[in-house]
Amino acid sequence: MTGPRGITIRPPRPQDLAAVIRIEQASFSDPWSDAFLAEELANDVLRMALVAEGPEGVCGYVMAWRVAEQLHVLNIATDPALRRRGVGGFLLREAALRAWAQGLREITLEVRRSNTSARHFYRKRGLQELAVRKGYYADNGEDALIMTGPLDSVLDSD
């Protein structure tokens, strides 16, 4: 499936790791280690990883776990040069489509309380703030908001 700006979504390949690391480091104040990213890029019975690829190469990714009937999003990021252009929504929707086909029916994730743009992004896709994880983020002790919703709300958005 081709999305905004000729972007396609596909499972990651080993050679995508460098681009994922670059996007991770540009996107988060406490980026994951290279080793952890490499581990999460592996697709297996519990993990789902996807990358967005455009004319210039990998420009985004999503990493999630399959937990019971939930898609638990661990991380989603887009190259800073392509933010607010539909790449993140396209990635999340494709992950939701694949999860739905596997019988999952709910989506959940944690987001920093201070990340108002991400919270808006998820609310726009039908997720609601359900609870707080106090002191969740190790870098500064910030709380995480648990957001959840029906998987089909993501499919019906955008």
Residue 56 is a catalytic residue: no
CA angle (119, 129, 108) in 5-degree steps: 85
| Ranges of each domain in the chain | 4-155
Above 90 in pLDDT, residue 83?
Answer: no
- Is 136 catalytic? The answer is no
Q: Quote the CA–CA distance of 96 and 53 in Å, as a whole number.
A: 18
Residues 114 and 147: their CA atoms lie apart, in Å, by: 14
At 64, give phi and psi (nearest 5°). -145, 165
The maximal CA–CA distance of the chain, rounded, in angstroms, is 41
Which of 69, 122, 136, 142 is the catalytic position?
122
Which candidate in 110, 129, 136, 142 is catalytic? 110
> Which option is the CATH number for 4-155: 3.40.50.1400, 3.40.630.30, 3.40.50.280, 3.30.300.30?
3.40.630.30
What is the per-residue pLDDT across 9-68, written as a single tens digit (0 to 9) for each?
999 999 999 999 999 999 988 899 999 999 998 878 899 999 999 988 999 999 999 998
Rounded to two decimals, what is the model's pTM? 0.91
